[in-house]
Structure 1
């Protein structure tokens, strides 16, 4: 809430909104991908994100008395189009949401010059966690190295990994390669054999060569770092080749209900790490029905809204919304700048109590950010497909910070040196 000291500003802004003088509101564009080879997974995420902002605008009059202009610029998941969207939107935007590791890597140096925050929840370049080096980039609430760590910790709970063979089936794209430095480090440390198996963009729906290799190599586990059509292709191939589904695990982008519904009961036992989970009984879902669904403001439907990815879209926009709210309180005005939002994203404290206030209990783990910690490292759950839906198979598992932090620091240092002169936040102490 805006404090009493700042209430006058909020009231004044609300009055201006009533006259239409600020009809655009705060511009928070989303570099969406509702088309292209990844559309099936992009659409529920974009719908969840947009519906959350529609809810805030309809129910609350926006955030702090100012509407949120949640425009979309379609990229089709193309890095080239994504950079074009960034250039098109950055002038008035308080944030950029690239929605691709490839796009994120391209715009990362630009944001130092443009001084606009990158918000890349659960994706992007893992060393962005180091806020001292990457002062304008945020991959809240988990990095890909966090996710890989959680998956390995879960597998270690099933038995010693020494001498085991883990196939790493990944999209041959910056996103798919992102976990490799951490996985290679851990393979050497823990004594397991890592078998990287890339899947090209043109091979996503026909992975016969990759699964022939998996049959030949007979790995103990397959970890899938896939996206879009790759996931459905891999899951159907796994079923066809009778790979034990309980030994196949995926990143959070490989935990899409629709992909598993293609195989139904045959997919039972497949697992995915996740930092979000749908809660149909959460108060926010009732509010969405009243303020967004019933008035016809959504592009979603009941089946999609019950799924993991729609729920994750809600969580992602909640993170942005909370960043805006915190920034407004600090700046003393609802009409914040990109620099204000950066401060807000660096000072998030999403506690269980705050999640209850937001009507989102159980939908994301608690996390906290700082000027040095731009990820939050929230921890994640292992979700398991029960033949019809994903269920939580574990309590919250935290990533191995001791294993990740030195790798983050070294990779951030290497990046800064390779892109010198690279401005750092030397004033940040925590």
Structure 2
């Protein structure tokens, strides 16, 4: 993506954020929005810091992700100010001076120590200061007023054209890295080796990625957040599930693919889940209750399980009885953007309130009605998890399952297919499929 594209889209993005900030401040009774970028945290009884993570409220405004100790000031009617910490230091790499398509939109003040920021910040009593407690400097402690945060986080679900372009670029990086990971799997690499191949292709280290890579061979695919990464491949290698993303300018992609080592029955099941996933992606349309997509995922996946002889009951009975949840125990997806699991997934409105999850589905992360600009993941899955299957038997629901078929599929672990999808005024925009097509 050219800087010219970002440059043309960024001013409109900033106008949207300025309007949101003005309304949020009005609701909270404040004159200024003050956002620290965050600070380094040190491990207990040690002098080593944890990996730095920028404040999402900060990187929403500008594509800076490695500038601890900096501050953003937004005052309606004025040019936003960046108080940029660029310390004198020979122990660590100092952040480079701000540059790029966005700098002309800001008043930029460079400081050399964190304490200097105070002289460039507005009256704290009239400011909504959004951040974690560790970001405080003398006279400026985050107060995180609920009306301000509720408004900003609710509306953050609606991405600007600039944000969608940022996520498109993250998706292209992720697709390229997924291609490399599949090649490493086909070549016989271990989970750890596949992870390294992914990072190399993405050009991002583990701490640069938006979340820890899930790289699972065989039965490990049944562990939803498997991050152990064995150093040696199993024998034989049957299957590969990878859930891995990439970052671009503070925005994330979240992609999952599953492969079989052979063109066998498990490969056929992967193809069936992929077809179901595409049907669910097509439901990402304005006015659709996201929870309805989740329930439809249960019906489609139960249909796959019935077609492959695992279930003996209808998809409707599997959903109503809870049998489908033993094979698909997580939510169908979540919002995504500045954070992999973006905020306000249950927000009833921009003043607060909570939209409930469907009964019996505690792990769904989004219950809002979709609208243009929202970006969500769609990630249905089928897994063969001993603990959940044992619970089915304990509940007296074992007769719904052909256990010989379960035993045949258990060595493969599970299947998950995940795309990032934009809700538009018309047909959904699948950033993930677009990125894989571009990398073909």
TM range (shorter): under 0.3
TM-score normalized by the length of structure 2: 0.27
Larger fraction in strand: 2
TM-score normalized by the length of structure 1: 0.27
Tell me: higher relative CO, structure 1 or 2? Use CA pairs within 8 A at least 6 residues apart: 1
Larger fraction in helix: 1
